[in-house]
Structure 1
Amino acid sequence: MGRSRPFWRLTPAERRVWEAFPTGAWVDLRTGDSELDDPVHGGMWGRERTVRAEVLTALLLGARPGEGGRVAGLRLAGARITGVLNLSDATLTAKLHLLNCRVTDSIALMDATAKGIRLRGCDIHRIRAARCTVDGLFELDSCTVHAGVRLDNARITGQFRLANSHLYAPENDASSSESFKADLRRMYSETERAERGWDQHHWSLWAGGLTVEGGAFCRDLRTEGGLRLIGARFNSGLYLQRAVIRGTGNHAVYADHLEATSVEFSQGFTADGTVRLRGARVTGVLSFHDAVLSAPGRCLHLSHMQVDELILRPARIEGEVNLGYSRIGVLLDQPGAYPGHVRLNGFAFESLRGGTRLRDRMDWVSRDPDGYRPQPYEQLASWYRRIGHDQDARRVLLAKQRARRATLGLPSKVAGYLLDVAVGYGYRPWLAGAWVALLLAAGTAVFTAYPPSQVGLDERRIFHAFPYTLDLLVPVSVFELRGAWEPVGWTQWVANLLITSGWILATALIAGATRVLRPPAS
């Protein structure tokens, strides 16, 4: 009859599951009382709702074949499952669907291959599914997992759903801490564990190298522990709208070298700890719109990324932002997105949207905690030139030279101040004309009141103060009045000052016109 069982005795609940498996029918052990049926109270459920994990394992591993014309499957609601549901290394042809169940120990799917796994509204001790392959949907919807989920190097060809779930890091569960530490000691060196902080096992979701072909929907997720997504690939996007990630270590999200078509940390997404996406590749939008981000020290570590569009308009942010050496197509942000330090050295973008006021951008490029960096100024000036705002570009480059001046020694600082006052480092050549006009007016007034004496008395000359002052200001005498008239008394100092100023201004004007006297970038 195909009804033999590898067990001496089955409970009534187990017998119902055993009989329903070949047809894939639902077995519902719930009472109808919503409060009593909550898996949080699963510890109070009696024998009539208790199913041993080894019975479910036997069924999923082929203890009962499916009936002809029917698709076998395990569909169980409202059960208390005891023991480890160990499906590691197995190839599952039947789908696993648990609804409102209490799983008192781990679900082990390491190196397993499954058609589809759906866990909805369940209370689970721990999920270990490293290197597993799910050819379809992997759903953890509205579940509570007390000692973390491991999906490192797993592959999911369908969607990954983690919406409305609550995950805790293994450190919150004493019974799993030692085994978790043993896994880390076996897999990684002491140096690497120390550098990454892995000995602290602060991760509620450990999913480095995870590949999801369908969308990864983690909206309204709640965690007590970080998300470790190093090298993960989300080929149809990662969506964490309204998720609340409370890192118990330094990081809320650790996702170096992540690849995705789009990533949404938006619509109230909250991270308590650093969000790190160093080296990430996002071919669409990476959004922090209306997010709440906070961490001691560095809040957002977004360096060395390549992103088509970065939306950085959080509701609140506390901590440093690092965008160094990233390549962004469109940056949509606002001045309030950077309340603290911001690292921009090596940062490149094609277009800026949102806060584009010159004053805000000048402040933006000047807030590197390591001090003056020339590249952010050059990048910003280049963008202003591309959009036809040449005057704003010159102002940015002038600010660059002034910021650089603060890093120089005293002689170079003095020379810099002279260049700044004379012609604005070459970006304000009209200043030289203003100085010439001022000196010309002052000299004319002085020599009108105190005319010089004629050098040669063989002929009678009439003195004119204006051309005489102009002749002193021009580096090469044009009117030949310098040799014909000799200043007297203190006006000799005025004449020497005019001659010296003329040479300085002429040099500065040439520098402004030809841009050959720019201080080198450093």
Structure 2
Amino acid sequence: MRLTRPFGRLSPAERRVWEAYPAGTWVDLRTGDKEADDPAGGQEWGPERTVRAEVVAALLLGAREPEPGRTAGLRLAGARVTGVLDLSDATLTGKLHMLNCYLPEIVSLTDATTTGVRFRGCELERVRAARCTVNGLLEFDGSTVRSGIRLDNAHVTGQFRLSRSRLYAPGEQSRASESRLEDIRRPFAEAEMLERGHDQSRWAVWAGGLTVEGGAFLRDMRVTGGLRLIGAKFNGGIYLQRSVVTATGPHAVHADFMEAGAAEFSAGFTATGTIRLRGARVNGVLSFDGATLEAPDRVLHLSHAQVEELILNPASIEGEVNLGYSRLGVLLDNPAAYPDRVQLTGLTYESLRGDWTVAQRLDWLGRDPDGYKPQPYEQLATWFRRIGHEPDARRVLLAKQRRRRRTLRPTGKIWGRLLDLVVGYGYRPWLAGFWVAVLLTTGTAVFAAVPPAQIDPDEVRSFQPFVYTLDLLVPVSVFEQRAAWEPVGWTQWLAWTLVASGWILATALIAGAARVLRPAGPS
């Protein structure tokens, strides 16, 4: 069969593809030798396994009609596809399914609409699919993409699959071949520069605004570069269990304002670089269970987020964690697993779960790098009260006052220490009773041994050391003992101490009661 330009004559491999397309049958050019069929060595494949990209594009763009009663599609295994596969702006009715193929140049689906695209176990240079619509499955399982995938504002109605893939940011794998591809890629690179206004060189996946209706399965990936998912929507959830992301810039994952039914960065997920999910919204579980997270500065930025359940129990975490101003339904974590710096101001939660103690929670609250903030203590105390643990709530609020005292001026610190010592800032009122008992016992014993002198000898009175001591402790004389008896010698100092202590105890009790009874709010 002879074709007019631009194809010229078809090679035997191309003729097989041409003839198979109308019925959507497979064309398998593999030899059966596992090593020889590895697409990583596809540059060595000869003409018997070579298909020009322009032939593939022509078929997908309608060069041949479907066979009656069959579904047309290009299904190709073990081929070397040469040239740029440019399907930009096209509407494709046939499915594209490549298995163990080698595509050393760009695959472009920019602004295209297709029924399904699958690259399984393939070796690709770069995929450009900005604003494309895939009415079905978009798959790169087991594939290697040497210069990144661009999917900004794309829409996938089915699943998005990248499991077991190897992804590299532009330049990380292809510098050696850059001169060879420079002329081919220049028009695409210039178009990207005009469109993007941002540096894509550090991102293995550039997918801001991506929408995936089904699940996004990104398990067991190995990524050199970052995943940029700002504003992406994963209605069926996003799953990155056991994946390893090594950032070439500051961010391993940048997914501000992402929306997802669930998000799994768990079960061995490893990230070197910041995981940024500021303003994200997860309607199910956001899990970092068993993850290894590391960054030189901030390792997890999860501020202003809304999450139904956050599981934060990583195997290892190094760097600062920011949970500020987020709203959580359930927080399941281990406070001992947190790093030394945790921002919690503004964080609210409906429930806390996990294996922890109140002391661990208080230590958790004390790790804010910005110093004392009252809201995290109030939030924790509110939760304890809601579940009926009033003693624990009082313990938290006492810790809050002690932490606040460090921020006060010297006079405030002195008064605070006195309140703490006497009544525990009002949260330990039994301390006042303890001090009263000590003073009463001491005064009673001393005045029984060294009775005071009667001021009016003509008045008939019986001295009671306990009642006399109690009258000295009460700020206003109740038993009229002070005016009837006068301490002698060194016991005058004890009497003055008892009077002063009574005033201090009364003032501390009033101040503590006012602190406990007033409405909760920042101090």
Alignment TM-score > 0.5, same fold: yes
Q: CA deviation at 1:249?
A: 1.0
Q: Which residue of 2 aligns with 1:432?
A: 432
How far apart are the structure 2 equivalents of 1:261 and 1:472? 69
* Structure 1 residues 364-513: aligned runs within 5 Å: 364-513=364-513
What SS does structure 1 have at the residue aligned with 2:407? coil
| Contact 1:141–1:163 under 8 Å retained in 2 | yes
Worse overlay, 385-394 or 495-504: 495-504
Q: CA deviation at 1:356?
A: 3.6
How far apart are the structure 1 equivalents of 2:324 and 2:461? 69
What SS does structure 2 have at the residue aligned with 1:396? helix
Q: Which residue of 1 aligns with 2:522?
A: 521
What SS does structure 2 have at the residue aligned with 1:127? strand
Matched, 1:186 2:187: no
| Contact 2:419–2:512 under 8 Å retained in 1 | no
Which amino acid in the other structure matches residue 350 of structure 1? Answer: E
| Contact 1:5–1:63 under 8 Å retained in 2 | no
Which amino acid in the other structure matches residue 484 of structure 1? Answer: A
Q: C-alpha root-mean-square deviation of aligned residues, in Å?
A: 2.0
Q: Which residue of 2 aligns with 1:219?
A: 219
What SS does structure 1 have at the residue aligned with 2:140? strand
Q: Which residue of 1 aligns with 2:109?
A: 109
How far apart are the structure 1 equivalents of 2:68 and 2:331? 58
What SS does structure 2 have at the residue aligned with 1:170? coil
1:308-353, Cα deviation, whole Å (9 max, x unpaired): 1111111111111111111110111112330321111000000011
How far apart are the structure 1 equivalents of 2:501 and 2:77? 92
1:121-167, Cα deviation, whole Å (9 max, x unpaired): 10000000000000111111100000000000000001111111000
Worse overlay, 415-424 or 454-463: 454-463
What SS does structure 2 have at the residue aligned with 1:171? coil
1:247-289, Cα deviation, whole Å (9 max, x unpaired): 1111111100000111111111111111111111111111111
How far apart are the structure 1 equivalents of 2:87 and 2:192? 22
Matched, 1:142 2:134: no
How far apart are the structure 2 equivalents of 1:346 and 1:399? 18
* Structure 1 residues 63-212: aligned runs within 5 Å: 63-172=63-172, 173-174=174-175, 175=178, 185-187=193-195, 193=198, 198=199, 201-212=201-212
Q: Which residue of 2 aligns with 1:308?
A: 308
How far apart are the structure 2 equivalents of 1:412 and 1:451? 39
How far apart are the structure 2 equivalents of 1:168 and 1:82? 21
How far apart are the structure 2 equivalents of 1:224 and 1:468? 82
Q: Does the C-alpha gap of structure 1 residues 395 and 153 become closer, same or farther in structure 2, counting only changes over 3 Å?
A: same
Which amino acid in the other structure matches residue 123 of structure 2? Answer: D
* Structure 1 residues 29-44: aligned runs within 5 Å: 29-44=29-44
Worse overlay, 397-406 or 352-361: 352-361
What TM-score does the superposition give when structure 2 sets the normalisation length? 0.94
Which amino acid in the other structure matches residue 397 of structure 2? Answer: L
Which amino acid in the other structure matches residue 522 of structure 2? Answer: A
| Contact 2:427–2:516 under 8 Å retained in 1 | no
| Contact 2:261–2:282 under 8 Å retained in 1 | yes
How far apart are the structure 2 equivalents of 1:84 and 1:185? 19
| Contact 2:3–2:9 under 8 Å retained in 1 | no
How far apart are the structure 2 equivalents of 1:357 and 1:273? 31
Number of residues paired by the alignment?
514
How far apart are the structure 1 equivalents of 2:433 and 2:46? 95
1:166-201, Cα deviation, whole Å (9 max, x unpaired): 000013133389968756653455xxx5xxxx37x2
1:461-509, Cα deviation, whole Å (9 max, x unpaired): 3322211111000111111010111122332222111111111212222
Which amino acid in the other structure matches residue 521 of structure 1? Answer: P
How far apart are the structure 2 equivalents of 1:219 and 1:250? 22
| Contact 2:39–2:123 under 8 Å retained in 1 | yes
Matched, 1:258 2:258: yes
| Contact 1:111–1:130 under 8 Å retained in 2 | yes
Q: Which residue of 1 aligns with 2:19?
A: 19
Q: Please list every run of 5 or more consecutive structure 1 residues that lacks an aligned counterpart in the other structure.
A: none
How far apart are the structure 2 equivalents of 1:362 and 1:70? 67
| Contact 1:289–1:314 under 8 Å retained in 2 | yes
Q: CA deviation at 1:517?
A: 8.2
Q: Which residue of 1 aligns with 2:293?
A: 293
Which amino acid in the other structure matches residue 457 of structure 2? Answer: L
What SS does structure 2 have at the residue aligned with 1:250? strand
| Contact 1:3–1:64 under 8 Å retained in 2 | no
How far apart are the structure 2 equivalents of 1:15 and 1:330? 60
Q: CA deviation at 1:23?
A: 1.5
| Contact 2:294–2:319 under 8 Å retained in 1 | yes
Worse overlay, 363-372 or 442-451: 442-451
Q: Does the C-alpha gap of structure 1 residues 157 and 517 become closer, same or farther in structure 2, counting only changes over 3 Å?
A: closer
How far apart are the structure 1 equivalents of 2:477 and 2:380? 43
| Contact 1:2–1:64 under 8 Å retained in 2 | no
What SS does structure 1 have at the residue aligned with 2:171? helix
Which amino acid in the other structure matches residue 262 of structure 1? Answer: A
Q: Which residue of 2 aligns with 1:347?
A: 347
Which amino acid in the other structure matches residue 318 of structure 2? Answer: E
Q: CA deviation at 1:89?
A: 0.5
Which amino acid in the other structure matches residue 229 of structure 1? Answer: L
How far apart are the structure 1 equivalents of 2:10 and 2:192? 38
Q: Which residue of 2 aligns with 1:321?
A: 321
Q: Which residue of 1 aligns with 2:362?
A: 362
Which amino acid in the other structure matches residue 125 of structure 2? Answer: H
Identity of aligned residues (%): 67
What SS does structure 2 have at the residue aligned with 1:96? strand
Matched, 1:274 2:282: no
How far apart are the structure 2 equivalents of 1:460 and 1:390? 52
Q: CA deviation at 1:213?
A: 0.4
Q: CA deviation at 1:409?
A: 0.3
